[in-house]
Chains A and B, each alone.
Chain A
């Protein structure tokens, strides 16, 4: 298992062939994991732009309900809910699941373990194009009669099961479910590929415990994806059947919606919540684990120090992965679920704080007595740690059902998950982008623009999401399009205005990133093969890497991924492929 793919090993058939030359095979229906990784990245980049514009429209509508917004016009309450639903869905699935795992993972997992490609290149292509179709179907929901659904990214029945329950719950809702089902299929195909590649295609000497923590994070995330997406797929199909084939999995009898009796009986709305959150909570870790991997990689590289507690980091990620499947009920403390089960879910949720804390301590330990280089990717990695702490520490409030009573479904929750699975994960994506851009495009991104982008985004994110805790404590419910009807919310409107201003500035700052990204692709400073003086395998090969990643050579690995500042060594880093011995540890 540890050296499955030697020079004589059975490599994927396509790898031995020459790189395809036609445009379609090279850039569109490519089997090359690097091209597919970039395709995923650009899909996520498109999605994040749409998701961000939706959030901006929402923020503006919330504080100026009658304002006319370019492209959107004056937003009605139901349109607000549509924007919110699509914002959440697009961000969670097509950005946070897509960019860090399918994007960077596809591009760099094979290279970092010394493989010529993913284990199943055709399956890889198929998973990308299925994701693409899924995204197209999701966007199409905006343009059908009734528009996109308004039932939130969690899509609770019966609101989502009965077309009369609201605008957008007709064809738009069906498209939403079809899109998500396709996404689940694509993610499971991708997960299989990641798992097989990690287990079977590691280069000689690349034992599991010599893998970079990025590879560990992609590997564990893939296992989570394989186990979680199947459950959401089942839930999605059942809900489609309830809506279109007259079944009653989620709809009980005796309902009257908009004055019309509903012809269903015997279903349970809570069943959906169990299925959804059995997927939904691991999904949180699917979004954040790759960010943890990237942060670990970068904190070690730019502190010029080995990662503190490599094994503890691996075990912590495994523990998070396993516990992540046992905590879904903490989303349902107020749902009418048995109050006794809340005990178990609460206990497991508090327990998951332990491996999360271990990771934070180890990140601080990695920087301790280091020699920190403030490159732009490092700044985002440091920002990741800060945001992970801030977002993580609101978890133990919500994990205790007694405190969750007043906080559930308020802005406190919005603050919590945005900081940790939204902004922290996005910081992981930014860190990865600035770090690997030179390897992907052969040019450096602009440093000054990167630093301005970091400071504005870091401060901006805190200005947006920190005040949401205060709103939540004051009892401000989520998913309200206006704060004018419930009287105790009116005094909170100035805080909402502050958040909207902060959002406008922070979103504007992303234009700096977009400019830097596209400008640097063409005009950036030419990158050396190993510009960051890092140790992992992607920096041993040409920039950008050749079709088979290592130009016909199969790398041999001699030690772990973080040999920085080894005493007596000539330089302050020793590549994984460098046979120079390092002290035992």
Chain B
């Protein structure tokens, strides 16, 4: 049984580890901050991977090596060793807290400061079960929204309850696709109208809950053009699995054309 256990534990360990590295599981990353997040992942992955393999290999070895041979010899009589306890306490503390110390600046860089001045503003609104994106237009101001004006069945500005009586709302544009110019910092405002949703863009390594009652400010910068999927990552009801959207990153010029066309549509 000892040998069988050793083989089972080792096989599980090596197969699990193999499939972690045999395939690139992560989606292609396109945001400015993704390399830092991915780097911290890799560092943690190597550290934890070494510990995982070492611990499982040791476990398999120990159960096989110290199996009962049925002889008269007794097991070793030991209640422990304080030096060893101290050693592995200090080593694991250094490992875990060290990783934390290395990773913390990445989080700080992501979330401790607001978007650069001059970043383009987009409001992201989640409602059961769609994402809406609002652009402030040339005045760079979002118009007022009023819950009593909301009508999701009409889509567009009406879905968000944008109050057309507000002058700032005149040039607001609402889209079901998140159009963004490449290489430009985006100042996101996240809102939710009904329940909590979570704005998840795997390619951007970005996720943030949109919470009813809160206006959450975030920022990111896409660095490659293309279409990237947006998913909802917080359970929001029966249509959660199909609440998704597209983030379309285009050249600055294409973006300007798109926005101008949408503004023209409004007139």
**What is A's interface to B at a CB cutoff of 8 Å?**
76-78, 81, 150-152, 156, 158-159, 162, 165-167, 251-259, 261, 267-270, 303-312, 334-336, 339-340, 342-343, 346-347, 350-351, 353-354, 357-358, 360-362, 364-365, 367-374, 379, 382, 385-386, 389-390, 393-394, 396-397, 399-403, 405-406, 408-410, 451, 455, 458-459, 462, 466-467, 469-470, 473-475, 477-483, 485-488, 562, 564-567, 572, 583, 585
Contact = CB atoms under 8 A, between A and B. Distances in A.
Nearest to B77: A565
Contacts of A152: 235
B266 to A, nearest CB: 23
B2 interface: yes
A269 B196 contact: yes
Given A156-B196, A269-B211, A396-B44, A466 B26 contact: no
Contacts of A158: 194-196, 212
Contact of B240 (A81, A258, A374): A81
B258 interface: no
Interface in B108-125: 108, 110-112
A488 B66 contact: no
Contact of A402 (B40, B96, B233): B40
Given A396-B96, A485-B244, A367 B63 contact: yes
Nearest to B227: A487
Interface stretch (B134-142, B150-158, B172-180): B150-158
Given A261-B148, A408-B233, A475-B202, A369 B76 contact: yes
Contacts of A390: 16, 52, 56
Contact of A389 (B52, B92, B236): B52
A368 B67 CA distance: 10
19 contacts: A76-B238, A150-B237, A150-B238, A306-B78, A306-B79, A334-B207, A334-B233, A336-B190, A339-B112, A372-B66, A374-B68, A397-B48, A408-B207, A409-B198, A451-B1, A470-B20, A475-B202, A478-B233, A566-B77
A402 B106 contact: yes
Given A159-B235, A165-B237, A306 B77 contact: yes
B44 A477 contact: no
B93 A475 contact: no
A357 B25 CA distance: 28
Interface string B212-241: 111010000000000001011111111111
A269 B236 CA distance: 13
Contacts of A488: 27, 202, 229
B100 A347 contact: yes
A293 B147 CA distance: 54
A371 B66 contact: yes
B90 to A, nearest CB: 9
A254 B213 contact: yes
A567 B77 CA distance: 7
Nearest to B45: A397
Given A369-B75, A372-B68, A470-B25, A269 B213 contact: yes
Given A354-B93, A397-B44, 6 more contacts: A78-B238, A158-B212, A259-B150, A462-B16, A564-B77, A583-B77
B80 A475 contact: no
A270 B192 CA distance: 13
A410 B233 CA distance: 7
A473 B76 contact: no
A406 B214 contact: no
Contacts of B80: 306-312, 362, 365
Contact of B209 (A304, A335, A364, A466): A335
Interface string B70-110: 00011111111110110011001100110110011011101
A179 B112 CA distance: 41
Interface of B: 1-2, 4-5, 8-9, 12, 16, 19-20, 23, 25-27, 36-37, 40-41, 44-45, 47-48, 51-52, 55-56, 58-59, 62-63, 66-69, 73-82, 84-85, 88-89, 92-93, 96-97, 99-100, 103-104, 106-108, 110-112, 127-128, 147-148, 150-153, 161, 190, 193-196, 198, 200, 202, 205-209, 211-214, 216, 229, 231-242, 244
A565 B75 contact: yes
B44 A409 contact: no
A336 B209 contact: yes
Nearest to A572: B74
A479 B88 CA distance: 38
Contacts of B73: 371
Contacts of B56: 386, 389-390
A158 B89 CA distance: 43
B238 A371 contact: no
B209 A365 contact: no
Nearest to A567: B77
A474 B26 contact: yes
B229 to A, nearest CB: 5
Q: Which of B147, B198, B212 has the most CB of A within 10 A?
A: B212
A247 to B, nearest CB: 15
A325 to B, nearest CB: 19
Nearest to A340: B112
Contact of B37 (A371, A402, A567): A402
A511 to B, nearest CB: 21
A176 to B, nearest CB: 15
A159 B12 contact: no
B76 A258 contact: no
A78 B242 CA distance: 12
Q: Which of A261, A469, A488 has the most CB of B within 10 A?
A: A488
A249 B244 CA distance: 30
